[in-house]
Amino acid sequence: MTYSAATLPTPLGTFMVIADRETVVRSSFGSDLEALRDWLPDPAAEIRVRADLGRITEALRAYFDGSDVLAIDALPVRAAGSPSMQRLWNALRRVPAGEVCSYAELGGERRFARAAGTACARNPIPVIVPCHRVIASDGGLGGFGFGLDAKRWLLDHEAAATGRSLDLTA
């Protein structure tokens, strides 16, 4: 197996995406390819760095420049994880751009809020699997692996592009 990787500049810094053909298997802010290897379905596989990943790169450019924040919704993704993690990551993909849900809502019940938070923290495909759209029940931002300023930017970016208004406390 061979993966392909590409980076692109964004308003939040360099964004890296790793794909198995047309399917995204890892993404992250930054450009440290080796730091992402352990999160891949096959960490020992060869990774070829490319200038462009076609449809994947096009969708990410459209998302980050605001011309089409919905473009990433059509990208196929695959991540290794338990059935519970898979269910929660799939639920994340159903949260529309420009909207948010709470950790409890994502988990399905308040008692599953912690599991939802864990799924967000372990999300190997951030932005495309939009864990940034999950907030605390009190309307606060909650957490985000790339910092709350980045989370706020992503939420504001999506809200502006979709014409929605977000009422967040932080």
- The conformational region for residue 14 under phi > 0 = left, psi -120 to 50 = alpha, else beta, is beta
Please state, as a whole number, how many other Cβ atoms lie within 10 Å of the Cβ of residue 40: 19
Examine the residue annotation and report whether 131 is marked as an active-site residue of this protein. Answer: yes
Do 70 and 128 lie in one domain? The reply is: no
User: What CATH number does residue 153 fall under?
Assistant: 1.10.10.10
| pTM score, whole prediction | 0.94
Q: Which helix (H) or strand (E) holds 102?
A: strand 101-102
Say which of 131, 134, 141, 161 is annotated catalytic: 131
Residue 31 lies in a domain: yes
Residue 168 lies in a domain: no
The residue segments making up the domain with residue 157 are: 83-162
- Which ranges of the chain would DSSP assign to H, the alpha helix? 33-37, 55-65, 83-92, 103-107, 113-121, 148-162
Burial code of 64-94, b = ≥16 C-beta within 10 A, e = fewer?
beeeebebbeebebebeeeeebeebbebbbe
Name the pairing type of β-strands 2-10 and 46-49. Answer: parallel
Render each residue's pLDDT in the chain as its tens digit; 170 residues: 899 999 999 999 999 999 999 999 999 999 999 889 888 888 899 999 999 999 999 999 999 999 999 999 999 999 989 999 999 999 999 999 999 999 888 877 666 788 888 999 999 999 999 999 999 888 889 999 999 999 999 999 999 999 888 877 65
